[in-house]
Structure 1
Amino acid sequence: MTSVAQPPSNTADVEIVHVPVSDPRVGPLLRELGHEYSTRYGKDAHGEIARYPDEEFTPPHGGLLLLLLEHGEPVAGGAFRRHDANTAELKRIWTHSAHRRRGLARRVVAELEREAAARGYRRIHLTTGPRQPEARGLYLATGYTPLFDTEADPETVGPLPFEKHLPAGTRAARTGEAAAL
């Protein structure tokens, strides 16, 4: 019988840490993400994951975070980078395959939105692949507006773009926290 990792009792039981891409806890999750992309799209996707310089995911214009279980195991994460002066682009959103369907990706997206707002961004932009229905569902469920025809076959659309405008009050409420990030 195969054992499956048990979920945290709730998503509040995870620690959020802001780290550079070079943090050793990031590598295994990015490798798993690359493997999953390669499996879904039939080509080596590790180059796509390495497409952007690590510096784009560091303050002041970007960030990367991990969700850790109580013993320090990274179970989910994601990043954002500057898309333009008012827009952050979410990238590299993932949840370890043994920890999915527990609300962790929602938590990652919410934390990235909060951090982007604290850095002064007013809008979030992202794209996901046409063979990632779970990601498409996540973004629709968390208030993102699809910038494509949702009735069309995703394979005919290509990368699926989404956007979300951040609440005007978010930045003001987090001004003191922004300095701490």
Structure 2
Amino acid sequence: MSMSRSVFHVGQHDPLAAPLLAELAIEYSSRYGGTPGEVHADLLGYSPEHFAPPHGDLLIVVENGEPVAGGAFQRFDAETAELKRIWTSSEHRRQGLGRFVLEQLEAEIARRGYRRVYLTTGPRQPEAVALYTAAGYTALPRDVKEQVGYVHPFEKRLVVDEDAQAVPA
């Protein structure tokens, strides 16, 4: 079977983003509590500008016409972008899509001039911890305690090449 893969940069209310938010709401509620509806409302509680140019982005990976993975970033500070909502459809996991999304996001973050990537993931998401570790992210001290336990903060520095463009380290 031949596969057609495309990456789309969309707003959080775009129909392509709907499967990402719906499945994240189910997954987060099953791991951390709350109803999928409550978690979905929380995900949509962010202003759309958080994940829009010039400081942020939301991308969706589509294969054969179906949204299968995605992720977003927002401005954390002048030199740092914060990753959010990294997602792979449950039917398409273990195919390298999470890593592909990270690479796409890091490239866009570098194009926007950020020098560092920051993220946190929850204590009940060992798959995410493994992904970020394998992708070269450094674990930071766990100093933020949530109701469900300590979050896992990570960072990755981007290096600057001769053209003053940041690239993943």
Both proteins in one fold, TM over 0.5: yes
Letter of the structure 2 residue corresponding to residue 61 of structure 1: H
Which of the numbers 53, 56, 65 marks the counterpart of 2:50? Answer: 56
* % identical equivalent positions: 54
Can you give the 5+ residue segments of structure 1 that lack an aligned partner in the other structure?
1-5, 150-154, 175-181
Give structure 1 regions of 4+ aligned residues with deviation exceeding 6 angstroms: none
CA distance in 1 between partners of 2:47 and 2:161 (Å): 31
Which of the numbers 164, 167, 178 marks the counterpart of 2:156? Answer: 164
TM-score using structure 1 length:
0.81
Can you give the 5+ residue segments of structure 2 that lack an aligned partner in the other structure?
none
Please state which structure has a larger fraction of its residues in strand: 2
CA distance in 1 between partners of 2:80 and 2:90 (Å): 30
CA distance in 2 between partners of 1:36 and 1:156 (Å): 15
SS of 2:65's partner is: coil
SS of 1:15's partner is: strand
The alignment yields a C-alpha RMSD, in angstroms, of: 2.3
Q: Which residue of 1 aligns with 2:15?
A: 24
- Maintained 8 Å contact 1:118/1:171: no
User: When the two structures are aligned, how many residues end up with a matched partner?
Assistant: 160
Q: Which residue of 2 aligns with 1:178?
A: none
TM-score using structure 2 length:
0.86
Q: Which residue of 2 aligns with 1:67?
A: 61
What are the residue-to-residue correspondences of 1:1-181 with 2, within 5 Å? 13-44=4-35, 45-69=39-63, 71-148=64-141, 158-169=150-161, 172=164
